[in-house]
């Protein structure tokens, strides 16, 4: 079998995907069909570098690398120069320019972009979770949730669920309605994972009347009556006491403030969300 006309060594102290894409883009500009790309990820040891270069020096090769650990980057460049192997540093020009613009030193930690990607996907997963298990749609999600919010209608359960989802927290919420028994799964969730939401009845009347107005309904509807609201609040309080969960009053609080209080409650009782 004929040897390739050129071997491109992809070396990285992370997974090497960036260097490989750049190498592919570069070689595509040439009429070379018999090239070969060899990727060496997670190279964080001098011996690894020496072994790769020992192989590379015996054939027509080019090194394309992304290394942020200064020590190993320098070793690679110095040893490649000894063997007259072209060595292309993808990251340093970018990092140096950004460092100059930001007046800040780089962290020099490999794999950070992968961790950022993982954080992003965890957020997407949490948002999808909040949508799927919003308003008690599927009680099976209660045991999978990082935390469960319970309360009567218009106590900010959904806005809080979505806000916390953007912090990578999986939240399910359950409406408490006197005519409908809570799902049995709710009583199987540890109380420390549940937060009860309550509110001032006068404030709630205003909110519900605005809701009825938006729906084109009359203000006199039972949904916005004081008698109905007091009945719902009493029922919710009874359920929350039965569960033994913390309760917060969201009457005059912004979603951000309520979320901050919830997270502080969890910190105080030592319950960790997503390992934090």
Q: Is 153 annotated as a binding residue?
A: yes
Q: Which residues contact 1 (CB under 8 A, 6 or more apart)?
A: none
Select from 43, 36, 27, 105 the least CA-distant residue to 76.
Answer: 43
Whole-number Å distance between alpha carbons of 82 and 100: 30
156 is in an annotated binding site: yes
Angle at 144 between CA 142 and CA 146, to 5 degrees: 90
HSE (side-chain half, CA atoms, 13 Å) at 57 = 13
Whether residue 157 is annotated as binding a ligand: the answer is yes
Strand partners, 8: 37, 62
Whole-angstrom Cα distance, residue 261 to residue 254? 11
Instruction: Please check whether residue 39 is in contact with residue 18, taking contact to mean a CB–CB distance below 8 angstroms.
Output: no
Q: Where are the alpha helices (DSSP H) in the chain?
A: 17-27, 46-56, 70-82, 91-102, 112-132, 157-165, 201-214, 226-243, 255-269
**Residue 107 is assigned to a ligand binding site:** no
Q: Is 151 a known ligand-binding residue?
A: yes
To the question of whether residue 18 is assigned a binding role by annotation, the answer is no
Residues making up the annotated binding site for ADP are: 151-158
Residues making up the annotated binding site are: 151-158
């Amino acid at each position: 079998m004929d040897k390739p006309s050129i071997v491109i060594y992809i070396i990285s102290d992370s997974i090497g995907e960036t260097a490989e894409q750049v190498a592919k883009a570069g070689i595509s500009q040439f009429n070379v069909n018999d090239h070969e790309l060899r990727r060496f990820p997670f190279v964080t040891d001098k011996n690894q570098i020496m072994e790769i270069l020992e192989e590379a020096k015996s054939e027509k090769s080019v090194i394309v690398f992304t290394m942020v650990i200064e020590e190993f980057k320098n070793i690679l460049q110095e040893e490649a120069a000894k063997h007259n192997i072209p060595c292309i540093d993808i990251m340093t020009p970018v990092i140096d320019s950004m460092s100059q613009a930001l007046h800040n030193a780089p962290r020099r930690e490999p794999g950070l972009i992968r961790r950022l990607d993982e954080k992003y996907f965890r957020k997407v997963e949490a948002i999808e979770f909040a949508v799927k298990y919003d308003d008690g749609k599927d009680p099976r999600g209660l045991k999978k949730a990082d935390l469960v919010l319970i309360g009567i209608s218009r106590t900010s359960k959904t806005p809080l669920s979505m806000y916390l989802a953007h912090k990578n927290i999986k939240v399910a919420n359950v409406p408490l309605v006197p005519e409908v028994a809570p799902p049995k799964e709710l009583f199987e969730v540890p109380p420390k994972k549940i937060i009860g939401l309550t509110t001032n009845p006068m404030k709630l009347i205003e909110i519900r009347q605005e809701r009825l107005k938006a729906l084109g309904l009359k203000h006199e509807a039972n949904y916005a009556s004081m008698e109905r609201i007091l009945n719902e609040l009493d029922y919710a309080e009874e359920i929350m006491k039965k569960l033994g969960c913390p309760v917060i009053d969201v009457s005059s609080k912004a979603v951000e403030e309520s979320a901050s209080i919830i997270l502080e409650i969890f910190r105080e009782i030592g319950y960790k969300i997503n390992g934090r």
